[in-house]
């Protein structure tokens, strides 16, 4: 099979794909990130050869030397985007170039090689065209695409990657949170921060997520499916959640979200919601937001809605913020109107139900 990029993808079809009945059973109730399609993409890289050996091949375990750098020094980055089946059966994805560019920035920060953006997009097309039957069509379902890159050189010295591999796996998904799009409670971490200035907070690397897991346990113990981190210097300003960006909505319709301080992930969903909100005439302030501004705003009625956003969850209404010794908001509060209408507009564009006026959609198959 010939790719339109400088790399030719070779396709090796699985000899034991899931049966139609098995696949249908999975697609009927996919959950999030539990099941994977029959194939995956792999592309190798070395200092000497650059990117080479692009393949779509059967999904299966990786063979890694126990000395592979990723296992010791966590040289790993990833992306997340979704493939949507439109009413006419065609399959599309949302702003893949933005993810490809962000993966290049993450690669730069983690001293990994930068994959050309056209190869990134082509890798998605190659995988989805082989596993097209895995793209679900029920409302609020999609095929979650997970590109990632690891340093796989067998070497225990600490240095930038001399050998790496890029992969794409795909997982049919429904809602990220177990309760669907119902409002969630958020736990404020008092003991931990997510990322330091000058650190890797703006990169989408596994290490950032690993560091969120201990505070996330505390969140779960308090009935909160996500944890909120404050800035690492003053412990005062909102940064982001364990795996999502955060927005507040004021009574006058103004949207507030933390500015890209260097330690916050530049969410594609975040940027898209800012654009959609501005298109509607909302004022959007990207700036430092103190935790007191949120808590006091909920109490005074100046802040009327809050939501989390990311590719996986899309837009998740936040009912309340909890921390040691306080609850701000009402755990049973309904989803906010602005929150849900932005969610609707974004998902309508992604699913082809509204015109794509910003040219965000790219056809995959």
307 and 315 Cβ atoms separated by less than 8 Å? yes
41 and 167 Cβ atoms separated by less than 8 Å? yes
Residue 78 burial (C-beta neighbours within 10 Å; 0-12, 13-18, 19+): middle
Is 312 an interacting residue with respect to ligand COI (CB under 6 A)? yes
Least distance (Å) from ligand COI to the CB of residue 84? 14
Partners of residue 134 on adjacent β-strands: none
Least distance (Å) from ligand COI to the CB of residue 243? 3
**With respect to ligand COI, which residue has the nearer C-beta, 106 or 126?**
106
Residue 30 burial (C-beta neighbours within 10 Å; 0-12, 13-18, 19+): buried
Is 17 an interacting residue with respect to ligand COI (CB under 6 A)? no
Q: How many CB atoms lie within 10 A of CB 160?
A: 14
Is 201 an interacting residue with respect to ligand COI (CB under 6 A)? no
Which listed residue (243, 258, 297, 329) binds ligand COI by CB under 6 A?
243
Least distance (Å) from ligand COI to the CB of residue 290? 25
Please count the residues of this chain forming the interface with ligand COI, following the rule CB under 6 A: 5
Is 311 an interacting residue with respect to ligand COI (CB under 6 A)? yes
Which listed residue (310, 317, 329, 336) binds ligand COI by CB under 6 A?
310
Partners of residue 317 on adjacent β-strands: 307
DSSP 200-219: TTTS-BHHHHHHHHHHHHHH
**With respect to ligand COI, which residue has the nearer C-beta, 5 or 189?**
189
Is 172 an interacting residue with respect to ligand COI (CB under 6 A)? no
- What is the x/- site pattern for ligand COI, positions 71-90, by CB under 6 A? ---------x----------
Choose one: 291-299, 308-316, 323-331, 350-358; the region binding ligand COI (CB under 6 A).
308-316
Strands (E), the chain: 9-11, 39-46, 50-58, 76-78, 81-85, 91-94, 142-151, 163-173, 184-188, 226-230, 238-241, 245-250, 255-257, 284-286, 303-310, 314-323, 326-329, 361-363
Q: Is 336 helix (H, G, I), strand (E, B) or coil?
A: coil
Choose one: 84-92, 178-186, 304-312, 321-329; the region binding ligand COI (CB under 6 A).
304-312
The residue ranges that bind ligand COI (CB under 6 A) are 80, 243, 310-312
């Amino acid at each position: 099979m010939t790719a339109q990029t400088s790399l030719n993808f070779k396709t090796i079809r699985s000899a034991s794909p899931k049966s139609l009945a098995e696949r249908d059973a999975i697609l009927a109730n996919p959950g999030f990130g539990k099941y994977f399609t029959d194939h995956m993409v792999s592309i190798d890289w070395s200092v000497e050869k650059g990117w080479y050996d692009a393949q779509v091949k059967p999904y299966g375990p990786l063979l890694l030397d126990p000395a592979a750098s990723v296992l010791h020094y966590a040289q790993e980055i990833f992306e997340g985007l979704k493939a949507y089946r439109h009413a006419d059966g065609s399959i599309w994805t949302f702003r893949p170039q933005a993810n490809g560019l962000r993966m290049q920035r993450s690669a730069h920060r983690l001293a990994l090689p930068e994959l050309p953006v056209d190869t990134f997009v082509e890798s998605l097309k190659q995988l989805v065209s082989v596993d097209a039957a895995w793209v679900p069509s029920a409302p609020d379902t999609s095929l979650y695409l997970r590109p990632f890159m690891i340093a796989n050189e067998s070497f225990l010295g600490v240095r930038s990657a001399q050998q790496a591999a890029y992969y794409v796996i795909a997982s049919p998904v429904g809602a990220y949170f177990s309760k669907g799009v119902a409002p969630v409670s958020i736990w404020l971490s008092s003991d931990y921060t997510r990322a330091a200035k000058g650190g890797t907070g703006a990169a989408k690397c596994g290490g950032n997520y690993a560091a969120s897991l201990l505070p996330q346990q505390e969140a779960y113990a308090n009935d909160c499916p996500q944890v909120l981190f404050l800035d690492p210097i003053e412990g005062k300003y909102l940064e982001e959640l364990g795996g999502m960006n955060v927005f507040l909505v004021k009574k006058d319709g103004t949207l507030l979200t933390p500015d890209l301080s260097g330690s916050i992930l530049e969410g594609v969903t975040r940027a898209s919601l800012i654009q959609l909100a501005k298109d509607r005439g909302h004022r959007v302030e990207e700036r430092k937001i103190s935790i007191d501004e949120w808590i006091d705003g909920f109490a005074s009625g100046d802040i009327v809605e809050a939501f989390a956003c990311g590719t996986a969850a899309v837009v998740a209404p936040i009912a309340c913020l909890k921390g040691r010794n306080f609850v701000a908001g009402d755990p049973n509060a309904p989803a906010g109107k602005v929150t849900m209408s932005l969610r609707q507009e974004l998902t309508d564009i992604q699913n082809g139900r509204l015109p794509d006026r910003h040219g965000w959609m790219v056809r995959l198959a």
